[in-house]
């Protein structure tokens, strides 16, 4: 019933649609500007910035995971960072999210990664409880900082 596979360039419209569904769920639709062209460059160019998995349930696209490698200076090994995991509401409660995380954990181990990390919105209590049930621990001593838009341009100015 469940099939987890690497995304193909022919999946670009599906990936964008899943990203839009995720943005809607996270109440961030007005921040979502993904295009097929930008995704093609990011995922399927000569030097991809990220990778994507598609989860299918009985042949239907049920969700996706988008991930990339980061690096830990302290252990001098790369890690696997899950940028986004989303399962469409009608496919939830079938173990798809758990299966995708297990798939990514196996991938991280096979690639010699020291860790597997992701972020979750602080209001997303169902996701937080789900991740804790899998053995994930919140890194409460860390605060994420971001510079984007004009603040990024200003910071980069000479």
The CA-based angle 46-12-109, given to 5 degrees, is 60
- 22, 44, 131, 141: the catalytic one is 131
The residues, ordered by sequence, that sit 6+ positions from 25 with a Cβ below 8 Å of its Cβ are: 86, 89
Confirm if 86 and 18 have CB atoms less than 8 A apart.
Answer: yes
Beta-bridged to residue 24, according to DSSP, are none
Whether residue 131 lies in the annotated active site: yes
Helix axes 12-25, 36-44, angle to 10 degrees: 110
Q: Which residues are catalytic?
A: 131
């Amino acid at each position: 019933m469940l099939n987890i596979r690497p995304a193909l360039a022919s999946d670009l419209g599906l990936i964008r649609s899943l990203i839009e569904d995720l943005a809607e769920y996270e109440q961030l639709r007005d921040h979502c500007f993904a295009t097929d062209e930008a995704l093609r460059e990011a995922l399927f160019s000569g030097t991809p910035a990220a990778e994507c998995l598609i989860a299918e349930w009985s042949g239907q696209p049920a969700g996706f995971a988008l991930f990339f490698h980061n690096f830990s200076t302290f252990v001098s090994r790369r890690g696997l960072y899950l940028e986004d995991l989303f399962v469409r509401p009608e496919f939830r409660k079938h173990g798809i999210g758990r299966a995708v995380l297990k798939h990514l954990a196996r991938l991280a181990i096979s690639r010699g990664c020291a860790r597997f990390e992701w972020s979750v919105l602080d209001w997303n209590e169902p996701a937080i409880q789900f991740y804790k049930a899998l053995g994930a621990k919140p890194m409460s001593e860390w605060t994420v900082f971001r510079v984007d838009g004009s603040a990024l341009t200003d910071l980069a100015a000479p």
